[in-house]
Amino acid sequence: MLPVGSDSTRNKSLEIEGTQSVANYSGYIKVDWKRVEKDVNKAKRQLRKKANKAAPEINSFIEESAEFVKKNIVLTSGFVGGFLLGLAS
């Protein structure tokens, strides 16, 4: 992306944000803060539910990985050794 394009994009977004701020301050826009708070709390609850659902999957993945490493210690040590040699060079 050209620097001119990013500058014009940034300026346009600042213009829109400034216009909205002035309109809100002048009273043209009324925000229902109770509804905003309700929607934010709803989104938080949904994120917590999804995080709780994802956590067992991550834990099972970690347990399976640890079991694989224990069963295949020779393969794992060779991989780690090669990886460290690659980093060193």
Q: Hey, where are the domains in the chain?
A: 1-30, 43-89
Indicate the SS3 state at residue 87: helix
How long, in residues, is the chain?
89
Give CA angle at 49 (44, 55), nearest 5°. 120
**Long-range contact pairs involving 70-79 (C-beta distance under 8 Å, separation at least 24):** none
Tell the residue number behind the tokens 């539910």, with chain if given: 49
Tell the residue number behind the tokens 């393969």, with chain if given: 75
Mean of the pLDDT values across residues 14-30? 76
User: For the whole model, what pTM was predicted?
Assistant: 0.37
What is residue 37's predicted lDDT score, i.e. its pLDDT?
87
pLDDT in tens, 30-51: 778 788 889 888 988 888 887 7
Closest by CA to 30, choosing from 42, 20, 38, 40, is 20
